[in-house]
A and B are shown apart, each in its own frame.
Chain A
């Protein structure tokens, strides 16, 4: 049963990734749709951040260390454009504030 579940999920997740790449292979994208797609990357990343910081019941599972950590990471990412530096800034702030309070 577990094998079946893994196989079904594998087929399903591959199909979700491949579907539009194949379905729209010869489709002429109208400018409006192309403009809409420019927003997909920033909005999905934003939505993922919030979903990682909330419980399945919908409550925020983040305190001051998390909040300040994310702000510092965002600032470091914007100013340096370097993900490693953003990670160091975010985790550093998170651990530092967590140790103080």
Chain B
């Protein structure tokens, strides 16, 4: 075990690397969606720096490919990404003792994996937190720019029968376990799974947000019940 202190930015970068592996097949799925929607490669790729959110980008181009209006495609994509508002609330206390520029830049790289890393490794010291966050965020950003560029050029490079897309739910289960450092958090996760399944037919995956809010409310009520 190496006990030498690693600089926070490098640590963030190193922690982000393994989490990127499942995003790689997703970048190729993205390439296929852009090709099927008949969008020029460079225009499709430009959504990576402009939007920087895999599921949001895929939703947008899937709907455009199906002939949806701009308003319909944009609003569906934003509903898919609505969970980022929860990340924004959750991280707001950690951004309070930070400089203004970090609020602007940090918000840009606030994606699922960066959020979970910041929750799994809570760093109290503001400068270290900032460097860790940016190290993880921009490592992910750089890799996403490169891999989506490859994705739109190469398209379906991986045979679909390999099922590599399954790596995404596998990673998120692993992140869920890492974020559940207490039993009640694991219970909340199980509840969220059940509610999401019940609401899975809601349009644009709106069930995700509802399931999270329901589960959090139930956990708070049960805390209050126990403390009586």
- Taking Cβ atoms with an 8 Å cutoff, the residues of A that contact B are 1-10, 12-14, 16-27, 29, 32, 34-60, 66, 69-70, 73-74, 76-78, 81, 83-84, 86-87, 90-91, 94-95, 98
- Please, how many angstroms separate the alpha-carbon atoms of A10 and B76 in the complex? 13
- With a 10 A CB-CB cut-off, give which of A18, A40, A44, A56 has the most chain B CB atoms: A44
Contacts of B115 in A (CB 8 A): 41
Name 24 interchain pairs, CB-CB below 8 A, sorted by A. A2-B64, A5-B60, A6-B43, A12-B78, A13-B51, A17-B85, A18-B107, A37-B89, A42-B185, A43-B215, A47-B196, A48-B83, A54-B196, A58-B201, A59-B200, A66-B166, A69-B166, A69-B170, A70-B173, A74-B174, A77-B177, A86-B173, A87-B18, A98-B163
Which chain A residues border B166 with CB–CB below 8 Å? 66, 69, 90-91, 94
Asked if A16 contacts B116 (CB within 8 A), the reply is no
Q: How far is the CA of A26 from the CA of B90 in the complex (A)?
A: 14
Asked whether, in the complex, the Cβ of A34 is within 8 Å of the Cβ of B93, the reply is yes
User: Are A36 and B50 in contact (CB-based, < 8 A)?
Assistant: no
* Contact residue among A6, A35, A66 (Cβ-Cβ distance under 8 Å from B60): A6
Taking a contact as CB atoms under 8 Å apart, the answer to whether B104 and A18 are in contact is: yes
Q: A48-B112, A77-B174, A81-B178 are in contact. Are A26 and B96 (CB under 8 A)?
A: yes
Q: Chain B residues with Cβ under 8 A from A45's Cβ?
A: 112, 116, 172-173, 175-176, 179, 189
Smallest Cβ-Cβ distance to B188: which chain A residue: A39
Contacts A44-B83, A50-B197 known; 4 new A-B pairs at CB < 8 A:
A17-B107, A54-B196, A66-B169, A87-B167
Q: Point out the residues of chain B lying under 8 angstroms from A19, CB to CB.
A: 85, 88
Kindly list chain B residues whose C-beta atoms are within 8 Å of the C-beta of A77: 173-174, 177-178
**How distant is the Cα of A17 from the Cα of B22 in the complex, in angstroms?**
23
User: On chain B, which size bracket covers the interface?
Assistant: 35 or more
A contact residues around B31 at 8 Å (CB): none
Report the stretch among B141-149, B151-159, B205-213 that lies at the interface.
B205-213
Task: List chain B residues, Cβ under 8 A from A94.
Answer: 163, 166, 170
**8 Å CB contact of B193 from A6, A50, A87:** A50
Tell me whether B74 and A83 are in contact (CB under 8 A): no
Q: Is the CB of A73 within 8 A of B173?
A: yes
Residue B110 interfacial (CB < 8 Å): yes
Nearest-Cβ distance from residue A53 to partner chain B, whole angstroms: 6
